[in-house]
Homo-oligomer: A and B are copies of this chain.
Amino acid sequence: MAISFEPSEATKQARAHFHSIAREQLRPISRRYDDQEHDLPTEWVDWYWRNGRGQAPQVDGPSDGFVQVCVQTEELCWGDAGLYLRTPFAGLGGSAVLAAGNSEQKQRFLSVFQGDGHPVWGAMAITEPQAGSDSANIQTTAERDGDDWVLNGTKIFCTGGEGASQIEGGFVVVWATIDRSAGRGGIKAFVVPAGTKGMTLVGLENKLGIRASDTATLRFENCRVPTGNLLGSAEVHKKGANKDAKAKGGGKGFKGAMATFDASRPIVAAMAVGVGRAALDCVLETLDREGATPRYDAPPTEQTALERDVIEMEAELQAARLLTWRAAAMMNQGRPNNLEASMAKAKAGLAVTHITQKAVELLGPGGYSKKLLVEKWMRDAKINDIFEGTQQINQLIVARRILDYPSGMLR
């Protein structure tokens, strides 16, 4: 088929469906859970869990696949990105299980998300106090002891980490090294079920935005999980080891984590687009109401600064959205999208940072006040420039790809 920008019928229906959820379920409680940081947004969690986990109506016909997922994510985050992140999802932990787990593990850890029980959460724990975006430098250790792996270390910035570590049925996928001398090759992922002894919720971060989301610090002290909770193989491939062997069995360690990011980046970018659109929509609605709808045919010397700002915001947002959809569409075809996913994430994070900051400015003192949600969206938006790989990390990945440099050539 040819290039097309026409969403499938299923995508259109899903968009409408999630838009109404965003409008009716999320927006009304947005301000409250921004103010009441760390409170569980029970209305949303329960509503979502009870109402088919937000499932969109089934539609026959072709599917946009991952692009549709992006559209859905955009709609929910148009509603509220903080609450979206607090939704009872398997989250990045679930993606890791899907990407690197065997079928028994998928069944064991993920079926609860389709079950009839209470809401559950999954999460992923990678970042450590001294590491930041340097995920190859993981200090948390996993040592084999009989039929168990014993984890020791501290993880920070674990999105969804409270729910995943505290509520029965949930789990945290923890990245730890089983052989520090092996560098990246020694890093493996372990599923730690909620409530496992030795896993402690140390605290939750007070944040600039996405305050409804629980960003946790988790401590692992002699935390034991059975060997069956290791995702992928325990084999360690040292630097310079046979590449074939790496590709076969070892690809589920560090590279597995990275592959999870490739898959998650378009979703994260779509989150960003949703927040940015919320702010832009608010500006456009205000302008319409005030009879100041931007002109696309203004003479160059008569265009207002406001018109130019709005045009730039619209263009930036749409560019971010299309880059996101492109990265998602490549996943539909099973094509590697490491470059395109990083492009989308880098662009979306930056674009919505600008768009939301500009929206606050354009709305004047009102935009700066807490009477509108725009100020909150500006605070929420900034996370997209930071988490799941900062702006700089994504630039780095893009740069390596376009230069065709291995990581050693450009750091």
Contacts and interface: CB of A to CB of B under 8 A. Distances in A.
A305 B304 CA distance: 5
Interface in A362-387: 362, 364
Contacts of A43: none
A306 B362 CA distance: 17
Interface string A285-317: 000000010000000111111111000000000
A284 to B, nearest CB: 14
Nearest to A301: B306
Copies in the complex: 2
Interface string A228-264: 0000000000000000000000000000000000000
Nearest to A287: B301
A302 B300 CA distance: 15
Contacts of A300: 305-306, 362, 364
Contacts of A301: 292, 304, 306, 362
Contacts of A305: 300, 303-305, 307-308
A155 to B, nearest CB: 30
A301 B290 CA distance: 11
Contact of A303 (B292, B304, B364): B304
Interface of A: 292, 300-308, 362, 364
Given A300-B362, A303-B305, 12 more contacts: A300-B305, A300-B306, A300-B364, A301-B304, A301-B306, A301-B362, A302-B304, A303-B304, A303-B306, A304-B305, A305-B305, A305-B308
17 contacts: A292-B301, A300-B305, A300-B306, A300-B362, A300-B364, A301-B304, A301-B306, A301-B362, A302-B304, A303-B304, A303-B305, A303-B306, A304-B304, A304-B305, A305-B305, A305-B307, A305-B308
